[in-house]
Amino acid sequence: MSRHSATLPSVTSAHDVYAPGHLGELTQVIDPQLVDAVLDETDSRERRVRLLPARVMVYFVLALAFFEHSSCPAVWDKLSAGLDAIMVTRPCASSLSRARRRLGSAPLRRLFEILAGPVAAGTQTASFYRGLRVVAVDGTTLSIPDEEALTWRFPKHIGEVKEFGYPLLRLVALVECGTRALLGAAFGPDTTGELGYARSLLHHLDHSMVLLADAYYDAFDFLEAVTGTGAAFLLRSTRKRRPAMRRPLPDGSYLTTVCAGKYKAGRGYGRLDVRIVEARMTVTLADGTRRSELWRVVTSLLDAERYPAHELIALYHRRWQVETCYFSLKSTILDGRVLRSRTVPGIEQ
């Protein structure tokens, strides 16, 4: 692609006004023709020729995520820094803000849906376990600005006397272990729990996967829904669950049945056959203090010969890769800051 163009390689100097949207590294990964197709599909293309066309703003919004420590005009300067030979108009912050509002969130959401997905090849052992692709789900919260334009959608927490803290956005992501590639993500007000958002991600699962999750996801309806996708699951059991041993297995694990807590007309009490693996975890702290705890892992991988208990315990630790994914987002990219946008569409972008 010509370094003088943010659109197509054949663009002439008459259209060099679009050049500031060219971010070399991003346009090598996200082709401008793909961005154009997404803009057409979401009906987000500008109705008249503008100094800040929709395609340029898509790359600008993506760049905002890379340069969280920079102001909007400063990010624009980074985008146009390599275009010394072209006369580039430097838009003010309000112009960039209006252009973002015109763009909306639909193109970014659709672009994510197209690009998200597993990337590991079968030779990447960290991403597979005995032929199953290993994925993990977990949630986190992000702080957003304390603005009236946001709190109607993302309400603040209310104590006994008054509201406190920043408004929070809840984010739940489905991540491929080994590569930390995102398969899907759902977010919204933290008044909805993780399970509510996680259920909207289940369509990304299939029979070729095993899902890892922490104890929060040990809910019968969720496990039943995961099983319905064809995927296997491996997660930590809650302390409240007291499974009865139905049949012991040679590797020390045992089979049991978990049941739904509520009766459903025409179905009775739902039942799900699972396997329980128990392990005693001992942690030694820096001061020499030792703490021991019984962990109970529940899985739909029932074959003890094919999926030995000690392998499943080791496999469960890969779940922490979704935590390191969030660490990259919150501590490295955001560096503890709140999200910059002060409008709901901007937050969604």
Judgement on whether residues 200 and 238 belong to the same structural domain of the protein? yes
Which is it for strands 232-236 and 290-299: parallel, antiparallel or unpaired? antiparallel
Which is it for strands 209-213 and 132-143: parallel, antiparallel or unpaired? parallel
Domain assignment present for 340:
no
Judgement on whether residues 67 and 215 belong to the same structural domain of the protein? no
Domain assignment present for 283:
yes
Residue 156, token pair as written in the block: 């603040």
pLDDT at 82: 65
Domain assignment present for 65:
yes
pTM: 0.85
pLDDT at 10: 40
Structural domain containing residue 233: 125-333
pLDDT at 2: 37
Judgement on whether residues 321 and 245 belong to the same structural domain of the protein? yes
Mean pLDDT confidence for 17-35: 69
What total of structural domains would you count in the chain? Answer: 2
pLDDT at 18: 54
Please give the Cα distance from 271 to 273 (Å, whole number): 7
Report yes or no: 67 and 76 within 8 Å, Cβ to Cβ.
no
Is pLDDT of 275 > 50? yes
Mean pLDDT confidence for 116-136: 92
Mean pLDDT confidence for 259-286: 79
Residue with tokens 């959401």, as numbered in its chain: 109
Is pLDDT of 106 > 80? yes
Judgement on whether residues 176 and 313 belong to the same structural domain of the protein? yes
The tens digit of pLDDT for each residue in 45-65 reads: 887 767 788 888 898 899 888
Sign of torsion, CA 309 312 314 317? negative
Mean pLDDT confidence for 17-30: 63
**Cα within 13 Å of Cα(332), Cβ side:** 8
Judgement on whether residues 297 and 174 belong to the same structural domain of the protein? yes
Please give the Cα distance from 297 to 238 (Å, whole number): 9
Domain assignment present for 346:
no
Report yes or no: 207 and 230 within 8 Å, Cβ to Cβ.
yes
The answer for residues whose C-beta is within 8 angstroms of residue 263's C-beta and 6 or more apart is 269
Domain assignment present for 6:
no
Domain assignment present for 341:
no
The amino acid occupying position 317 is H
Mean pLDDT confidence for 333-344: 86
Judgement on whether residues 266 and 130 belong to the same structural domain of the protein? yes
